[in-house]
């Protein structure tokens, strides 16, 4: 009986784990919905701002702005890595950190110093394990990134860039493309890639806007805004991707636990059957002996 | 007369979307009133009150902290980082903000600009909340 009972115990444990992973899957699904809604809520803003920049740069012609200028004086750059605070989300963090390391290696081979800004407990833990000093290690961001928080980071970056202390800012995060596809992306935040002013052969019926203040000044105000918005989009994307990753991981775990329960049940039935056969054999042979 | 279609968009949400017959936006150098069939306009916004009158005559307002406005084809799009209803403003917090803004250094041009913006934002909040 000992073996059958051990199997039952094990099956019970697996069933309990399955309950937990299933609940986590459901929670992740709910969180995903919320994060997804937030991510789509930022879309109109981002789109409008980009649209405005395009329209303005068409009107303004050649523009000069410290955030557009490539800064070659400094050999120092910044890499922002966005990871999650919690685990159990499959390969999410591993993929991001691998890509971040690649980027680091490339930059350092080129003889640059890279300031690491790591967000999320998983990322900070990883770099601490590697004994790699981080300029900033924060874990305050949960799955609801606030614009104000992101704004502060963007502001710091832009100020450092304008003072020519750094030559570029990159962000490594998980881009959310669809529920089925998320991709690790390293995005160049600064310097801003020049807005496409080239196709200014003017679409037919181009609108003549009235600008206040004049277009170049307005553009100078808009460019920092695009930086902020892009960074914010990174954060919301990362939040959505994390929940998707967790959903997928927990679904796989639940399925695997279900399979295991099934196979354990089978094993238990076999063990029980062979035990009964054994006992029957005992009884029969005992009865034979008495005759 | 065709009505204006107004939307107020912040990075976190769409704060308002609907028709209006008059909109006043707090531009960087003063208020701009917008009636239907206005010429296309792109304006930088300052901190201040965004007012909007719907067809029935009832007025709504928000506190807006900078941003941009675009007017085209009777559509008014206000892009701002922050849009608060008057009752969402916390006067005590705004007072604190004002005090913090006043103690900011103003030793170079950038710092001076930042200080002025922070003060203007806090003052505008207090003004709007006061009503």
Predicted pLDDT at A240: 92
Task: Dump pLDDT digits (tens) for A110-135.
Answer: 888 999 999 999 999 999 999 988 88
Query: Which residues in chain B have their CB less than 8 angstroms from residue A46's CB?
Result: 11
Tell me whether residue A163 is in a domain.
yes
Query: Which residues in chain B have their CB less than 8 angstroms from residue A221's CB?
Result: 44, 68
What does the alpha-carbon distance between residue A72 and residue B29 come to, in Å, rounded to a whole number?
37
**Domain total for chain A?**
1
Chain B segment 29-88 residues within 8 A of A by beta carbon are: 29, 32, 39-44, 68, 70, 72, 77, 79, 81
Size of interface A-B (CB pairs under 8 A): 69
Q: Which of B10, B28, B72 sits opposite A45 (nearest CB)?
A: B10
Mean per-residue pLDDT over chain A, rounded: 87
Tell me whether residue A274 is in a domain.
no
First to last CA, chain B: 32
In chain A, pLDDT over 90 holds for what percent of residues?
A: 48
CB contact under 8 A, B68 and A49: yes
Q: Which of A48, A147, A212 sits opposite B79 (nearest CB)?
A: A48
Q: Dump the DSSP string for chain A.
A: -HHHHHHHHHHHHHHHHHHHHHHHHHHHHHHHHHHHHHHHHHHHHHHHHHHHHHHHHHHH-S---TTTS---S--EEEEEEE--SS--STTHHHHHHHHHHHHHHHHHHTT-EEEEEEESHHHHHHHHHTT---SEEE----SS--HHHHHHHHHHHHHHHHTTS-SEEEEEEEEE-SSS-EEEEEEEEESPPPP--TT-S--TT----EEES-HHHHHHHHHHHHHHHHHHHHHHHHHHHHHHHHHHHHHHHHHHHHHHHHHHHHHHHHHHHHHHHHHHHHHHHHHHHH-
Cα of A264 to nearest chain B Cα, Å: 49
- Where b means 16+ CB within 10 Å and e means fewer, A112-147 reads bebbbbbbbbbbbbbbeeeeeeeeebebebebebeb
CB contact under 8 A, A49 and B79: yes
Q: Which of B30, B41, B9 is nearest to A214 (CA)?
A: B41
Tell me which architecture the domain covering B4-84 has in CATH. Answer: Sandwich (2.60)
Tell me whether residue A152 is in a domain.
yes
B94 pLDDT band, cuts 50/70/90, is confident
Domain extents for chain B? 4-84, 89-128
CB contact under 8 A, A45 and B79: yes
Chain B segment 92-111 residues within 8 A of A by beta carbon are: 110
Higher pLDDT, A207 or B19: B19
CB contact under 8 A, A45 and B27: no
Tell me whether residue A236 is in a domain.
yes
Helical (H) or strand (E) element with B83: strand B83-84
CATH number at residue A37: 3.40.1380.10
CB contact under 8 A, B43 and A211: yes
The single-letter DSSP state of residue B78 is: E
Residue A257, both tokens: 């636990």
- Dmax (CA) of chain A: 115
Task: Dump pLDDT digits (tens) for A234-264.
Answer: 999 999 999 999 999 999 999 999 999 999 9
Tell me whether residue A287 is in a domain.
no
Tell me whether residue A204 is in a domain.
yes
**Global confidence as pTM:** 0.84
Cα of B6 to nearest chain A Cα, Å: 14
Nearest CA in chain A to B38: A210
Tell me whether residue A286 is in a domain.
no
Note down the domain range covering A155.
27-247
CB contact under 8 A, B42 and A52: yes
CB contact under 8 A, A42 and B12: yes
pLDDT tops 50 at residue A204:
no
CB contact under 8 A, B28 and A213: yes
Predicted pLDDT at A200: 47
Tell me whether residue A48 is in a domain.
yes
Is some CB atom of chain A closer than 8 A to the CB atom of B114?
no
pLDDT tops 80 at residue A62:
no
Task: Dump pLDDT digits (tens) for A90-99.
Answer: 899 999 999 9
What does the alpha-carbon distance between residue B122 and residue B93 come to, in Å, rounded to a whole number?
9
Q: What integer is the mean pLDDT of A185-210? A: 69
Is some CB atom of chain B closer than 8 A to the CB atom of A205?
no
């Amino acid at each position: 009986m000992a073996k059958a009972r051990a199997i039952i115990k094990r099956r019970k444990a697996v069933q309990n784990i399955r309950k937990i992973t299933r609940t986590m899957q459901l929670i992740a699904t709910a969180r995903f919905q919320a994060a997804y809604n937030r991510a789509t809520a930022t879309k109109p803003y981002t789109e409008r701002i980009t649209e405005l920049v395009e329209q303005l740069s068409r009107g303004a012609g050649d523009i000069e702005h410290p955030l557009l200028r490539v800064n070659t004086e400094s050999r120092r750059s910044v890499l922002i890595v966005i990871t999650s605070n919690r685990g159990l989300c499959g390969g999410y963090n591993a993929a991001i950190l691998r890509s971040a390391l690649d980027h680091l290696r490339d930059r350092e081979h080129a003889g640059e110093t890279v300031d690491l800004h790591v967000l999320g407990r998983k990322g900070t833990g990883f770099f601490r394990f590697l004994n790699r000093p981080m300029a900033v290690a924060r874990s305050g961001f949960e799955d609801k990134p606030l614009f104000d928080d992101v704004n502060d980071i963007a502001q710091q970056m832009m100020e450092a860039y304008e003072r020519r202390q750094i030559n570029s800012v990159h962000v490594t995060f998980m881009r959310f493309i669809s529920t089925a596809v998320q991709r690790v992306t390293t995005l160049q935040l600064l310097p801003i890639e020049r807005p496409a002013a080239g196709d200014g052969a003017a679409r037919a019926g181009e609108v003549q806007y009235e600008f206040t203040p004049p277009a170049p000044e307005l553009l100078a105000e808009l460019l920092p805004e695009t930086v902020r918005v892009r960074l914010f989009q990174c954060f919301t994307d990362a939040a959505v991707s994390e929940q998707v990753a967790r959903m997928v991981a927990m679904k796989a775990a639940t399925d695997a636990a279900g399979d295991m329960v099934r196979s354990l049940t089978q094993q238990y039935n076999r063990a029980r059957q062979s035990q009964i056969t054994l006992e029957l054999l005992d009884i029969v042979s005992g009865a034979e002996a008495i005759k | 007369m065709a009505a204006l279609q107004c939307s107020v968009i912040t990075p976190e949400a769409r704060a308002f979307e609907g028709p209006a017959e008059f909109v006043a936006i707090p531009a960087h150098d003063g208020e701009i009133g917008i009636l239907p069939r206005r010429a296309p306009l792109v304006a930088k916004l300052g901190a201040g009150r965004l007012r909007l009158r719907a067809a029935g005559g009832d007025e709504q307002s928000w506190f807006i902290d900078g941003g941009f406005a675009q007017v085209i084809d009777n559509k008014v799009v206000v892009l701002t980082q922050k849009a608060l209803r008057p009752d969402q403003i916390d006067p005590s917090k705004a007072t604190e903000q004002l005090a913090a803004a006043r103690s900011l250094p103003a030793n170079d041009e950038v710092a001076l600009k930042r200080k002025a913006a922070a003060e203007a934002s806090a003052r505008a909040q207090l003004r709007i909340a006061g009503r």
